[in-house]
Homo-oligomer: A and B are copies of this chain.
Amino acid sequence: MAGTPKRSSKAAEVIKQDVATYVAAGADESVQRVITNVHGLARRLNHWYDRQLADLDVSTGEWAVLSKLARDGGDRGLSPSVLADAANVAPSSMTHRLDRMAERGLVSRSTDPDNRVRVLVALTEEGWRLFRDAIRESDMVESDVLGPLSRAERAQLADLLDVVIESLDTLDA
């Protein structure tokens, strides 16, 4: 085991060292290897998205709104509070963010006819177009990133993550 490491990439070295720090502070290794990798990957991906979104003149926070609406907006849209929660932001911040996005024509705001306290935010045509453009671009990178994994390995990876997420949600409830 002691000898020339075959071809330990720089990233792998860094992560290994990070895990060691956490273990030294009293954590479990098999746990930290997974957790550190999840965060590391998410962080790198986000970094990539940021650059890409900047090209489209969309901030990370605005993207959170766009993608949430695209995923769960349905026909009617979503309320500002739901969006604020999805974007991890205070409701008051969402008010301003929506102001900007509406002014730019990405979303529309309307009061819920069934309950006039509620406001419904929905994607405009322009918003949808932007969403699709961004998705297609990012999928290209993501496909490249997952290139080294076979289809079976991808499924396996997704399955394992499914289990963890499910576990976390159970714990959280």
Residues in A lying within 8 Å of B, measured CB to CB: 9-12, 15, 17-18, 21-22, 25-28, 30-35, 37-45, 47-48, 70-72, 88, 131-132, 135-136, 138-139, 141-149, 151, 153-158, 160-172
A22-B135 CB under 8 A given contacts A171-B144, A172-B48: yes
Contact A11 B165 (CB under 8 A): yes
Chain B residues, Cβ within 8 Å of A34: 146, 154, 157-158, 161
Instruction: Name which residue of chain B comes closest to A88, CB basis.
Output: B47
Main secondary structure of the interface of A (DSSP, over half): helix
Chain B residues, Cβ within 8 Å of A148: 163-164, 166-167
* A139 CA to B36 CA, complexed, in Å: 11
* A155 CA to B18 CA, complexed, in Å: 16
* A144 CA to B165 CA, complexed, in Å: 12
Contact B39 A42 (CB under 8 A): yes
A9-B169 CB under 8 A given contacts A37-B158, A139-B32, A157-B160: yes
Chain B residues, Cβ within 8 Å of A42: 38-39, 41-43
Contact A45 B12 (CB under 8 A): no
Instruction: Name which residue of chain B comes closest to A156, CB basis.
Output: B160
Known pairs A37-B158, A41-B164, A149-B160 / 14 extra A-B pairs, C-beta < 8 Å:
A12-B162, A17-B72, A27-B142, A30-B158, A31-B146, A34-B157, A34-B158, A35-B45, A37-B162, A41-B161, A47-B88, A141-B171, A146-B167, A148-B166
